[in-house]
């Protein structure tokens, strides 16, 4: 097998260079677009007129209106009904049991919220009427008096019975699904396609075998087989007409490999490349088109490297059917097209480039915010995307000969503009494309007509869901063209408006989508983090790692640290919140500036993988900025209280004295820095004792505190083990303890504090959890598996928030487990400083021995479903394991490592199962995966948890967003990173002054 290195000769095109533009400044990008607009003034006027005419002609062709378009006219996503119907469409078809189906329908359709949102509006009647018709195929006519959904459903139930309703709603979803899917099998799709061709609704197809995002090798092999079959069936029918005239196939690379990620480049070349080459060679044999679909922005460069290798493969050299989709909503697409043209010329045969706007816009926005990217990889206004599309179209047209352009859109203005640009350039060799179920009326209205290729998904409803939801989201949005295209209430001038006009009027990024660093507004800047999908970011960390010098470990004894900190206390407290906040903000900036070095240090000393280490630095930065803002809010001056005449009353917050901060090795920077920052912000001086396993990270953090302007006496670092911690806690001079670690040690500290005479001081403890995740039958298996893998195994399960017990319903447990166990085989366990690594080692031999002991016991008492073999790695590596318990009684406490316990449960008894978990006494994190709000509420009602997460991972709490900490055996509260944290570190002083004693109350006299 060839390696990636061999695939990249020295003169290879610089695909990685595109990443320099990934987060380009949007305002500058828009200014550049407007400087060279894709259409001149004359062209703009005629395109606008043609676009309006197109809309009018399409509206006149009522019979060509698709079900989707009718549906969207009634149910936009800005309405509660539209959202509810989307939820149903996403979940209903996969639910195996009737009881849950009924609950889901009842919750989504008949919930009181429908009435609340729409009340008695005529709009609802129209909606209900349409829905009723869809539900029942026109059998039931809605009576006039029905005013809201619950009545509507009640009435339907009376007439039809529950089973009939269930069937009807199911049927409606099947109808909706069918609208987008051409057939269950490629043969069925070809048959239906042929009749569409005869009726003029399509000239040719690009068939897409539904399914994306393989989680296991078995998934990938299944998808590969179905793509290979499709290529053969489509090829055989093509009769040698060549790729432009005959139908072809589109392929999603994420379906062909479970780890199609930039970090796994070598593996992708070794394992995925041969699969896609196999498909391409088969397509070449038949001389049909094979197009690689565009997916998430983080995968773009990797897909281009693969594509280049395909393009230059000797076995594909003269084939003109090789194609790639590119997304105009990404800011780097013009630079990409330039490189594709170079590639095609180097290859000596043209390539097909399908220009789309892009289907993952909301996902890109969310991911950039969560990951702390410097900006979004996509434009934030629809007008910018539309104009950029036209600029990209102009580039593609200019690259004629090298590129065969394929314009995929359902937007009348876009179609009219592209057509005009092609005409002006005298280009005939291009085509338009539309999605099956959309845009039929638009293309039917083109005069003179042009051939249009229809992108046609093929498959069963099981695989339809992600695609369907993307379509509903895309088309249900107010900004979507299709949403209002055929709506007579929206004037053609509005629907087909020239996007340049809007962009010229507002040539700026969307005002309500600030870049990720500004997510939290003016009070604090969000932290940013390296993007591991970018090679230069990975290189920067590698370079920092290669130069890393481990800081020297200091040796200040407790007997020296405590008096030093004590002597500094008064002055520090007097400085007030604003001054202390400024130092904390400087600390945040210092941490951010040292991100690479700190990431390398955390990975090396604590064994955390690079992404965890990046997240950890970000968390430390966030803590500093959050507590700085809190210090300014709470400690900048006395709070005035209501008082009687002749008196002033104030409440002041002050530091308590010397706080001892004892932090764990599992978040050696974030928790260490967070505790200190909070104690300092509240006016305390600090003696900090980090875990003995991670002294260097603590040294680095303390040096940064000092460099940020913190007087050295104010923060004293004491290194050592539990004994040293014990000494600090026992000292009568300390004013409080912040501790994060095990429940056992927290108890010890508590006893030590209680045993002392003198002042009773606070203990703020954050301890462990026996964290559960409850899944029901409405949950999406792939999402469950992704989130379970991260929650249970990230950081080698060494987070207090990590998932310990997964509760699966009997009906779907086997399916979920099969995918989960398969996906575990794809995890990379190894050197944490290697970007490919998902899971690093266990912190030390003692901790590993405890895990081994637990596994040995479970082998006997329960069922070990799987443990990844890591014997080759040696050291403190521990293979992630899944254990099926017979009963929850088999575990009592947290086992701190990558061991997931599974319990199967009967959904009817979820309250009992939840109560059994609650009875263990912990209350830290809790997860629910369900599309039923009522299920999540039911679980939350019985299982106490400081942090509950629905339909996501249960780890990774964000400062100020998910304040973190539990109750019961899991901690004392208040929550770190929350609004109630700092006051616990403070002392309150009320000051009451009798101003009448000085002569009177001026306020009273001046009323």
Residue 226 vs 480, nearer CB to ligand FAD: 480
| CB-based contact 390:405 (threshold 8 Å) | no
Tokens matching residue 866: 């799987």
Q: Residues 980, 984, 990, CA angle at the centre, nearest 5°? A: 100
Q: How many H-runs (helices) and E-runs (strands) does the chain carry?
A: 38, 23
Angstrom CA distances, 981 to 223, 674, 764, 973, stand at 50, 11, 9, 8
611 forms part of the interface with ligand FAD (CB under 6 A): no
Minimum CB separation of residue 473 from ligand FAD in Å reads 9
* Dihedral-angle region of residue 921 (phi above 0 means left; psi in -120 to 50 means alpha; beta otherwise): left
Cβ neighbour number for residue 708 with a 10 Å cutoff: 18
354 DSSP β-pair partners: 325, 406
Q: Is 359 in the site for ligand FAD (CB under 6 A)?
A: yes
* Partner residues linked to 900 by β-bridges: 882
Q: Between residues 201 and 959, which has the closer beta carbon with respect to ligand FAD?
A: 201
Minimum distance between the CB of residue 262 and ligand FAD, rounded to whole angstroms?
Answer: 17
Hey, what are 57's tokens?
A: 């002609």
Q: How far is the CB of 433 from ligand FAD (least distance, A)?
A: 4
Residue 385 C-beta-side C-alpha neighbours within 13 Å = 24
Q: How distant, in Å, are the alpha carbons of 12, 26, 336, 507 from that of 332? A: 19, 11, 6, 18
Q: Give the residue from 581, 576, 615 showing the smallest Cα distance to 595.
A: 615
Q: Does 931 bind ligand FAD (CB under 6 A)?
A: no
480 lies in the site for ligand FAD, by CB under 6 A? yes
Whichever of 308 and 431 has its CB closer to ligand FAD, that residue is 431
Is residue 958 within 8 A of residue 621, CB to CB? The reply is: no
352 binds ligand FAD (CB under 6 A): no
C-alpha–C-alpha distance, residues 11 and 346, integer Å? 11
Task: List the interface residues with ligand FAD, window 500-519 (CB under 6 A).
Answer: 510
Residue choice 404, 481, 807, 985 for contact with ligand FAD (CB under 6 A): 481
Asked if 457 is part of the footprint of ligand FAD (rule: CB under 6 A), the reply reads no
Tokens of 372: 């702390």
Closest approach, Cβ 389 to ligand FAD, in A, equals 7
Distance between CA atoms of 505 and 501, rounded to whole angstroms? 6
CB-wise, 294 or 710, nearer to ligand FAD? 294
Cα(342)–Cα(353) distance, rounded to whole angstroms? 13
Minimum distance, C-beta of residue 308 to ligand FAD, in the bound complex (Å): 18
Closest distance to ligand FAD from the beta carbon of 479 (Å): 4
CA–CA separation, 799 vs 665, rounded Å?
Answer: 10
Q: For the packed helices 558-593 and 722-730, what is the interaxial angle rounded to 10 degrees? A: 110
Site string for ligand FAD, 374-413 (x = CB under 6 A): ----xxxxx--x----------------------xxxx--
Is 433 a binder of ligand FAD (CB under 6 A)?
Answer: yes
Which residue in 434, 461, 799, 901 binds ligand FAD (CB under 6 A)? 434
275 near ligand FAD (CB under 6 A):
no
Distance in Å, CB of 230 to ligand FAD, minimum = 16
Write the DSSP string, 346-402.
Answer: HHTS-EEEEEE--S-HHHHHHHHHHTT-SS-SB-SSHHHHHHHHHHHHHHHHHTBTT
Which residue in the shown chain puts its C-beta closest to ligand FAD? 357
**Binding piece for ligand FAD, criterion CB under 6 A, among 54-62, 276-284, 420-428, 478-486:** 478-486
> Total binding residues for ligand FAD by CB under 6 A?
33
Instruction: Note whether 485 binds ligand FAD by CB under 6 A.
Output: no
What would the DSSP string read from start to end of 741-780? S-HHHHHHHHHHHHH--S----EEEE----EEEEE-TTS-
828-842 in b/e form (b: 16+ CB < 10 A) is: bbbbbbbbbbbbbbb
Tell me which residue of 841, 780, 739 sits closest to 215, measured CA to CA.
780
* Smallest gap from residue 70 Cβ to ligand FAD (A): 17
Question: At closest approach, how far in Å is the CB of 327 from ligand FAD?
Answer: 5
948 is catalytic: no
CB of 411 to ligand FAD, least distance (A): 4
Asked if 455 is part of the footprint of ligand FAD (rule: CB under 6 A), the reply reads: yes
CA angle at residue 986 from 984 to 987, to 5 degrees? 120
Which tokens sit at 282?
């088969």
Least distance from ligand FAD to the Cβ atom of residue 364, Å: 9
Task: Tell me: does residue 203 bind ligand FAD (CB under 6 A).
Answer: no
> What b/e string do you get for 123-134 counting C-beta neighbours within 10 Å, with b at 16 or more?
ebbebbebbbeb
Q: Does 257 bind ligand FAD (CB under 6 A)?
A: no
Q: Is 358 in the site for ligand FAD (CB under 6 A)?
A: yes
Reply yes or no on whether 766 is catalytic. yes
Give 479 or 640: the residue with its C-beta nearer to ligand FAD.
479
Contacting ligand FAD (CB under 6 A), which of 204, 299, 357, 604? 357
Stretch that binds ligand FAD, among 303-311, 474-482, 617-625, 856-864 (CB under 6 A): 474-482
Instruction: Note whether 261 binds ligand FAD by CB under 6 A.
Output: no
Strand 647-655 relative to strand 986-994, pairing: antiparallel
**Whether 833 contacts 600, CB under 8 Å:** yes
Q: Which of 800, 826, 884, 987 is catalytic?
A: 800
Find, among 63, 66, 64, 68, the residue nearest to 85 by Cα: 68
Shortest spacing between CB 356 and ligand FAD, in angstroms:
4
> Could you give the C-alpha distances from 427 to 299, 446, 624, 651, 980, in angstroms and in order?
32, 17, 59, 77, 66
Stretch in the footprint of ligand FAD (CB under 6 A) among 33-41, 428-436, 658-666, 852-860: 428-436
Contact status: 329 vs ligand FAD (CB under 6 A)? yes
In terms of CB distance, is 280 or 669 closer to ligand FAD? 280
By C-beta, is 103 or 252 nearer to ligand FAD? 252
Q: Quick count: other Cβ atoms within 10 Å of Cβ 268?
A: 24
Indicate whether 935 belongs to the interface with ligand FAD (CB under 6 A).
no
752 is an interface residue for ligand FAD by CB under 6 A: no
**Binding letters toward ligand FAD, positions 292-311, x by CB under 6 A:** -xx-----------------
Asked if 361 touches ligand FAD (CB under 6 A), the answer is yes
- Per CB under 6 A, 479 contacts ligand FAD: yes
Range in contact with ligand FAD (rule: CB under 6 A) among 322-330, 456-464, 663-671, 799-807: 322-330
- Which residue, 391 or 917, has its beta carbon nearer to ligand FAD? 391
22 touches ligand FAD (CB under 6 A): no
Q: Please, what is the minimum distance in Å from the beta carbon of residue 657 to ligand FAD?
A: 52
Comparison of 260 and 360: residue with beta carbon closer to ligand FAD: 360
From the list 271, 619, 766, 826, the catalytic residue is 766
Token pair 């002083």 is found at 989
d(CA 358, CA 971) in angstroms, rounded, equals 46
The residue within the footprint of ligand FAD, chosen from 51, 403, 435, 918 (CB under 6 A), is: 435
* Helix pair angle (743-755, 722-730), 10° resolution: 30
**228, 278 Cβ separation under 8 angstroms:** yes
The residues annotated as belonging to the active site are 766, 800
Residues in contact with ligand FAD by CB under 6 A are 293-294, 325, 327, 329, 354, 356-361, 378-382, 385, 408-411, 414, 433-435, 455, 474, 479-482, 510
């Amino acid at each position: 097998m060839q390696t990636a290195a061999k695939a990249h000769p020295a003169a290879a095109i610089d695909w990685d260079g595109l990443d320099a533009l990934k987060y380009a400044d949007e305002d500058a990008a828009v200014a550049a677009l407007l400087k060279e607009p894709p259409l001149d003034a004359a062209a703009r006027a005629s395109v606008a007129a043609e676009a309006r005419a197109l809309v009018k002609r399409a509206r006149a062709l009522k019979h060509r209106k698709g079900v989707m378009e009718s549906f969207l006219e009634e149910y936009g996503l800005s309405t509660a009904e539209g959202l509810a119907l989307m939820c149903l469409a996403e979940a209903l078809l996969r639910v195996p049991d009737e009881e849950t189906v009924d609950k889901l329908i009842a919750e989504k359709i008949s919930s009181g919220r429908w009435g609340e949102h729409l009340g008695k509006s005529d709009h609802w009647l129209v909606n209900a009427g349409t829905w009723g018709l869809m539900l029942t195929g026109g059998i039931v006519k809605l009576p006039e008096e029905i005013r809201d959904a619950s009545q509507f459903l009640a009435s339907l139930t009376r007439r039809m019975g529950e089973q009939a309703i269930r069937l009807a709603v199911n049927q409606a979803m099947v109808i909706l699904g069918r609208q987008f899917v051409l057939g269950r099998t490629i043969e069925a799709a070809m048959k239906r396609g042929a009749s569409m061709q005869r009726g003029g609704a399509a000239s040719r197809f690009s068939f897409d075998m539904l399914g994306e995002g393989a989680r296991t090798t078995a998934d990938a092999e299944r998808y590969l087989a179905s793509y290979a079959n499709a290529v053969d069936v489509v090829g055989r029918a093509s009769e040698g007409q060549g790729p432009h005239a005959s139908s072809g196939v589109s392929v999603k690379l994420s379906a062909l490999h479970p780890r199609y990620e930039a970090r796994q480049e070598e593996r992708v070349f070794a394992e995925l490349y041969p699969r896609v080459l196999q498909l391409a060679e088969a397509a070449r044999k038949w001389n049909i088109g094979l197009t690689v679909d565009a997916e998430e922005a983080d995968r773009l460069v990797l897909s281009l490297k693969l594509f280049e290798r395909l393009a230059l493969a000797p076995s594909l050299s003269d084939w003109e059917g090789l194609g790639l989709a590119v997304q105009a909503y990404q800011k780097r697409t013009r630079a990409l097209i330039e490189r594709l043209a170079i590639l095609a010329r180097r290859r000596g045969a043209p390539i097909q480039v399908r220009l789309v706007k892009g289907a993952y816009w909301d996902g890109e926005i969310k991911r950039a915010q969560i990951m702390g990217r410097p900006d979004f990889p996509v434009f934030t206004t629809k007008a910018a995307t539309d104009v950029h599309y036209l600029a990209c179209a102009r580039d593609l047209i200019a690259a004629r000969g090298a590129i065969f352009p394929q314009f995929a859109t359902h937007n009348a203005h876009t179609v009219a503009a592209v057509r005009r640009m092609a005409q002006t350039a005298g280009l005939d060799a291009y085509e338009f494309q539309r999605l099956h179920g959309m845009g039929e009326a638009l293309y039917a209205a083109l005069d003179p007509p042009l051939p249009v290729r229809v992108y046609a998904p093929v498959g069963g409803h099981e695989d339809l869901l992600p695609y369907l939801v993307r379509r509903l989201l895309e088309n249900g949005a107010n900004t979507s063209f299709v949403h209002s295209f055929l709506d007579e209430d929206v004037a053609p001038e509005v629907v087909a408006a020239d996007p340049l006009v809007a962009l010229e009027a507002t040539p700026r990024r969307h005002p309500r989508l600030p870049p990720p660093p500004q997510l939290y507004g003016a009070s604090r800047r969000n932290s940013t983090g390296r993007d591991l999908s970018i090679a230069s970011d990975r290189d920067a960390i590698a370079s920092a790692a290669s130069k890393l010098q481990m800081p020297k470990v200091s040796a200040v004894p407790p007997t020296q640290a405590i008096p030093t900190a004590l002597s500094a206390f008064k002055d520090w407290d007097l400085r007030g919140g604003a001054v202390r906040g400024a130092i904390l903000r400087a600390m945040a900036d210092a941490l951010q500036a040292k991100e690479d070095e700190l990431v390398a240090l955390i990975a090396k000393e604590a064994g955390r993988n690079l992404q965890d280490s990046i997240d950890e630095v970000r968390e430390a930065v966030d803590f500093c900025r959050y507590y700085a803002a809190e210090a300014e809010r709470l400690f900048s001056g006395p709070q005035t209280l209501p008082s009687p005449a002749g008196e002033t009353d104030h409440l002041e917050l002050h530091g308590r004295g010397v706080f001892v901060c004892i932090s764990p090795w599992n978040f050696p920077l974030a928790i260490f820095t967070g505790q200190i920052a909070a104690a300092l912000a509240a006016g305390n001086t600090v003696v900090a004792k980090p875990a003995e396993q991670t002294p260097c990270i603590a040294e680095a953090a303390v040096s940064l505190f000092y460099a940020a302007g913190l007087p050295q006496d104010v923060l004293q670092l004491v290194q050592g083990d539990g004994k040293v911690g014990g000494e600090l806690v026992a000292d009568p001079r300390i004013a409080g303890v912040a501790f994060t670690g095990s429940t056992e040690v927290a108890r010890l500290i508590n006893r030590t504090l209680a045993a002392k005479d003198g002042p009773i001081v606070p203990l703020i403890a954050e301890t462990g959890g026996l964290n559960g995740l409850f899944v029901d039958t409405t949950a999406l298996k792939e999402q469950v598996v992704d989130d379970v893998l991260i929650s249970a195994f990230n950081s080698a399960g060494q987070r207090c928030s990590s998932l310990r017990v997964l509760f699966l319903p009997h009906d779907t447990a086997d399916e979920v487990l099969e995918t989960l166990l398969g996906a575990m085989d794809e995890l990379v366990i190894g050197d944490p400083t290697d970007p490919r690594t998902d899971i690093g080692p266990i912190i030390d031999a003692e901790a590993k021995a405890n895990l081994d002991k637990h596994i040995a016991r479970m082998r006997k008492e329960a069922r070990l479903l799987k443990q990844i073999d890591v014997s080759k790695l040696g050291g403190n590596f521990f293979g992630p394991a899944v254990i099926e318990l017979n009963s929850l009684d088999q575990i009592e406490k947290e086992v701190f490592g990558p061991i997931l316990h599974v319990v199967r449960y009967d959904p009817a008894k979820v309250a009992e199962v939840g109560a059994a978990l609650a009875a263990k006494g912990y209350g830290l994190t809790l997860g629910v995966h369900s599309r039923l709000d009522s299920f999540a509420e039911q679980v939350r009602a019985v299982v106490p948890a400081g942090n509950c997460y629905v339909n996501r991972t249960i780890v990774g709490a964000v400062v100020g967003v998910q304040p973190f900490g539990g109750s019961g055996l899991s901690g004392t509260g208040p929550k770190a990173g929350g609004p109630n944290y700092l006051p616990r570190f403070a002392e309150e002083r009320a000051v009451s002054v009798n101003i009448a004693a000085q002569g009177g109350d001026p306020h009273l006299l001046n009323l």
